[in-house]
């Protein structure tokens, strides 16, 4: 199963180059500096990607109704005042992601905020127990998939001041790939994922 999330920088309609904190009550990531669209998980790559696009459209309309725009730049400068406001309004918690190659962070400056596409993977597996059957998220060769994504999107990752190989293990057995910028070509993403998970 595959599920995708897409992050966006947020700005007021009249100031699309000045990024702001996501207002309370609107969908945001943990840091509060990015709006977040979430697709539903599907076994079909096409359905997973188009589910994300549908939620991105709904999110755009929701923010427009508040006089805000979603900006799909993969990186943008965030003013110190906005960072301070986000730290007061949002509780990001500890860093949970890891990296296949030993990178500690992306290559952006402290004044810059990156926005990405995160892809969650699970392999639901039915297991027989003495009380019947249960479904658990089984293991699979996720490292091979992530390395393949790193190679296929190396130019896009580099251009967005990101680093390859970022991932996060989730408490429910999902594993999330976190190196893609938010502006990758969705057609290329679909074809790459289909090739890697066949």
Phi/psi of residue 166, each to 5°? -80, 140
> Model confidence over 18-47: pLDDT tens digits?
999 999 899 999 889 999 999 999 999 999
Give the contacts of 144 (CB within 8 A, at least 6 positions apart): 196
Question: Could you state, in order of their start, the residue ranges of all structural domains in the chain?
Answer: 2-196
Does the domain spanning 2-196 belong to CATH 3.30.590?
yes
Residue 30 in contact with residue 1, Cβ under 8 Å? no
Residue 130 is given by DSSP the state T
Tell me how far apart the terminal alpha carbons of the chain are, to the nearest angstrom.
Answer: 12
**Across 54-64, average pLDDT:** 97
Q: What is the CA radius of gyration of the chain?
A: 18
> Model confidence over 67-97: pLDDT tens digits?
999 999 999 999 999 989 988 888 766 668 9
Measured CA to CA, the distance from residue 7 to residue 35 in angstroms comes to 6
């Amino acid at each position: 199963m595959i599920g995708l999330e897409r992050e966006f920088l947020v700005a007021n309609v009249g100031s699309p180059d000045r990024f702001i904190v996501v207002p309370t009550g609107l969908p945001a990531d943990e840091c509060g500096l990015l709006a977040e669209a979430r697709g539903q998980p599907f076994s079909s790559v096409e359905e997973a990607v188009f589910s994300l696009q549908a939620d991105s459209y709904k999110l755009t309309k929701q923010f427009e109704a508040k006089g805000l725009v979603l900006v799909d730049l993969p990186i943008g400068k965030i003013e110190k005042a906005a960072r301070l406001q986000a730290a007061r309004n949002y509780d990001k918690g500890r860093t949970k992601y890891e990296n296949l190659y030993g990178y500690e962070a992306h290559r952006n400056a402290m004044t810059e905020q990156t926005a990405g596409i995160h892809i969650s993977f699970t392999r639901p597996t039915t297991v027989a127990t003495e009380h019947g059957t249960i479904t658990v998220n089984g293991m699979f060769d996720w490292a091979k998939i992530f390395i393949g994504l790193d190679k296929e999107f190396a130019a896009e990752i580099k251009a967005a001041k990101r680093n390859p190989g970022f991932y996060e293990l989730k408490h429910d057995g999902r594993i999330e790939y976190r190196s893609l910028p938010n502006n990758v070509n969705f057609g290329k993403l679909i074809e790459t994922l289909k090739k890697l998970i066949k």
